[in-house]
Structure formats: structure tokens, C-alpha cells
Amino acid sequence: MHDSDPNDQLTVEMRGDRACLQCHTEFTGSRLTKHTHHAESSAGSRCYNCHMPHTSYALFTAIRIHRIKSPEVLPVRHAAQPNACNLCHLDKSLEWTNKRMARWYGREPIALDEEERELAAGVLWMLRGDAAQRAIAAWHTGWKPARQATGGSVWAVPLLARLLEDTYSAVRFIAWRNLKALPGYEGLEYNFVGPRPQRSAAMESVIGNWRSGRTDIPSALPVTADGRLDFERLSDLWKRRDQRPVEIPE
């Protein structure tokens, strides 16, 4: 990193912002909030969350990338890493982030398709994305900063339920683990390597439970003209998911 001596980079003292602020001393107090557009105490003002987000994967877990990069909005295409902004704001669209990157940092807005402009990034990554995007987005529904930014993760239940039928057992496990952490799903019985009919039954059970307890549909999810969750559109996204093999670069 930075082409400097690596001997002092892996120490206990460098787990937080100090690793960056020891050199980038200008980013403190009001200058930090001007740079991040988040409160100083917010997860959105933590250097690692924006510049080394959890976009790599190992052992059923998203891990921080070992490269320093700035948040970059990319279309939901094969092997495109999710951007740091929407990994917190899973319930916001890529266009939402696109506009803020342009307004705050002068970035040239990128071209997005209709779904990327209208639907929440979390919806697209979990349903239309490749295996890595599905795993990483699902993991972030259980990440504390993302739960705080989205008002909890109950909105993502229909998406996590769909992932219980994912082709990859690792994605299924992550979805199940995060579902079990949500109120009302603690006792969910599910074998992520079990027979497909059992996995399908678990998915239907979760969706049925979610629907019975909802009086409104979260804005992050697509709705029909009469205000109901648009399962047909969710199913269409799922049918178009990227099934190509993927390698996660580090």
C-alpha cells in the first residue's frame, strides 16, 4: 500500500482510522464530515468502511478487500464488486448513489439500466447478481452498519428466503444464518445441504411468515399497482441471475 515500507502495516494499533489518519491528518473534525458527508461518529465516516469494504469472501464470510480504493458505482454485471456506499445502504438504488457521488465528489455519473435506476442495489445483487455478489450482499444484511442504515434487515427477508434455494451451498448458508438472527426466524429449521424439496419448503415457509406479519411493504422492495409485494418481478430477477462461475480477486 502506498509503495511504502510494509513492516508497520499489520499491527494491532492499525485496526481503526488511526492507520489512515496518522498520515492523512487533514481528515479530522468538521473536515472529516465534509469529506464523508456523514456524522463523525457514523460508520460512514470510518476509513475502512469506505475505502476497504467487505467485498472479498472466505469461509462463509465477507472480508475486507486488501486494497485501498474509493467507492465506485458499477452496473450489476459479471464480477463487478459492489460499491461501499450501497453495502451500507442496501435499500437504496445504484442511481441514488450515482447522484450523490456526482454531487459530492464531482464524479461523472455512469450509465445504468432501468432496474439499476429504480430498484434497491441489495435487491439486484441478491437476485440478479453473480454468486459472489449474492453472497456478499446477503452477508451485509447482517452487518451492523447496514442494519442501522436500513432500519433493520426485516425488509430483506423475501430476498434471503429466495437465496435458501441458491445454486451455491455457501450462499444458502449465509442467507439462513442471517435469517435466524432476525426476530421471528430464530427457530428456522433448514439444512443448507439438504434435499431441494426441503429447501424449497423452508423458503415458502419464510415468505409465508413474512407476508402474514406485514401491513406495509418496505420501499426497498418492488410493489404492484395495488401496493402488494411484486413477487412476479422478484421471480423474474431470480430467473435472470448470473450463473457463470466467478473468481473473487484479492
Q: Is residue 191 part of a domain?
A: yes
Mean of the per-residue pLDDT values for the chain? 91
Does residue 33 lie within any of the structural domains?
no
Decide if pLDDT at 13 tops 80.
no
Residue 225 lies in a domain: yes
Whole-prediction pTM value? 0.92
Rounded to whole angstroms, how far apart are CA atoms 30 and 3?
29
The number of folded domains in the chain is 1
Mean pLDDT value of segment 4-14: 62
> Is residue 17 a part of any domain in this protein?
no
For 116, the domain range is: 52-239
Q: Kindly report, residue by residue over 153-201, the tens digit of the pLDDT.
A: 899 999 999 999 999 999 999 999 999 999 999 999 999 999 999 999 9
Q: Please state which of the ranges 6-15, 45-54, 71-80 shows the lowest mean pLDDT.
A: 6-15
According to the model, what pLDDT value does residue 78 have?
Answer: 85
At residue 6, does pLDDT exceed 60? Answer: no
Percent of the chain with pLDDT over 90: 70
CB atoms within 10 A of CB 218: 18
Per the CB < 8 A criterion, the answer to whether 138 and 62 are in contact is no
- 97 pLDDT exceeds 60? yes
